[in-house]
Amino acid sequence: MMEYNCGVIGLGRIGCGFDDDPKSKIINTHAGAYFNNKNTKLIALCDIDKSKLEKYSKKYMTKSKYQNFEKMFQNEELGCVSICTHAESHLEIVKTAVKNGVKAIFLEKPMSDSLKDASAIIKICEKHNTKLQIDHFRRFIPVYKKLAYKIKSGFYGNLQGCTFQFGAGIANTGSHIFDLVRMFFGDIRWIEANPTSNNSNNPNDPNLDVLAHCKNNLNCHLRMYNLKNFGINEMDLLSMDNRIIMNLMNNQVQIFKPIKNSGLAYSVLKKSSHVDEIHKQGVVLGLEDLIKSIKNNSQTSSTGSDGYKSLEAIIASNISARKNGKRIHLPIKSYSYKISSK
């Protein structure tokens, strides 16, 4: 069995921090995924914060810790690396990783802060045959794959509309939502967006009200909130004969179907006994998929193109909101427009 030496750059929440919760029963971080995968050995951590390096190098028993990613790549022979830093730093880290022979990169979303840099990342990885996986982690989870297949095959009938509700900004959470929109309903044709009074906690990553029109002519609404006492991240899909509600936080799907002969002038909906949920988090499955792609020399499940198109939708939303809701058709030409997800 081949074992790949691995490293994590950026020891924030998705890099290491989410697994600090003692109540959590599943692995939610890149470091945790490497540490618990039989095909990988976590040998190096990198972050500018010394306290994080000390804390997590002890937790994961890593032999090496760095505050400079260039030194890490110079000193370590890494087969795979996760990049969990802010989007604007991704291109330079990818360049350095590829230059030093890294075989696979697990890249956090959004994949960059501009389409120009995102395109450069894709080209660099393709040129050097480096596998690139974008952490749109729901693509790796079976319940989402199953739902996407049913939607695209027409299992739920004539789709009427879809609403996503979430917090944490158009770039941070929106990158996941736009990827789900494409996964379920096809590429986005145009976007209209407006500012909302529900201001984001991060002024650099605004909350917007977004209308995304998809290839299959379905309209998807993205509604963002600033909720301090609880979190929300859900999808509500309506068809002629079904209502599908998906909790995107615990990955649970509930199906509602009409009750015939309910005694009312109209049919009412009743929750089906069928409920899907998962017990294995996406980052773990994403790493498994990435290792499989190395071994089989196959395409990853969340490609650079997927990351690019999600970023494109984020940028289109920002441009539309700044232009009073003007309709922005995709693909867009704003190649150098930069976002911030800090």
pLDDT of residue 263 exceeding 60, the answer is no
**φ/ψ (deg, to 5) at 16:** -145, -35
Can you tell me the distance from the alpha carbon of 6 to that of 80, in angstroms, rounded to the nearest whole number?
5
CB 272 within 8 A of CB 104: no
pLDDT of residue 276 exceeding 70, the answer is no
Q: Is the pTM of this model over 0.85?
A: yes
Strands of the 131-134 sheet, one edge to the other? 64-66, 40-46, 4-9, 80-83, 104-107, 131-134
Show the CA angle centred on residue 264, arms to residues 260 and 265, nearest 5°.
95
pLDDT digits (tens, 9 = 90+) for 5-56: 999 999 999 999 999 988 888 899 999 999 999 999 999 999 999 999 999 9
CB 212 within 8 A of CB 188: yes
pLDDT at 115: 97
| Residues 6 or more apart whose Cβ sits within 8 Å of residue 85 | 9, 10, 93, 108
Can you tell me the distance from the alpha carbon of 311 to that of 78, in angstroms, rounded to the nearest whole number?
28
CB neighbour burial string for 189-220, b if at least 16 within 10 angstroms, e if fewer: eebbbeebeeebebeebbbbbbbbbbeeebeb
**CA torsion, ordered 2, 136, 139, 321, to nearest 10 deg:** -160
Q: Give the domains, in start order, of the chain with CATH numbers.
A: 4-137+282-303 (3.40.50.720), 139-278+311-329 (3.30.360.10)
pLDDT digits (tens, 9 = 90+) for 283-312: 999 999 999 999 999 999 999 999 999 999
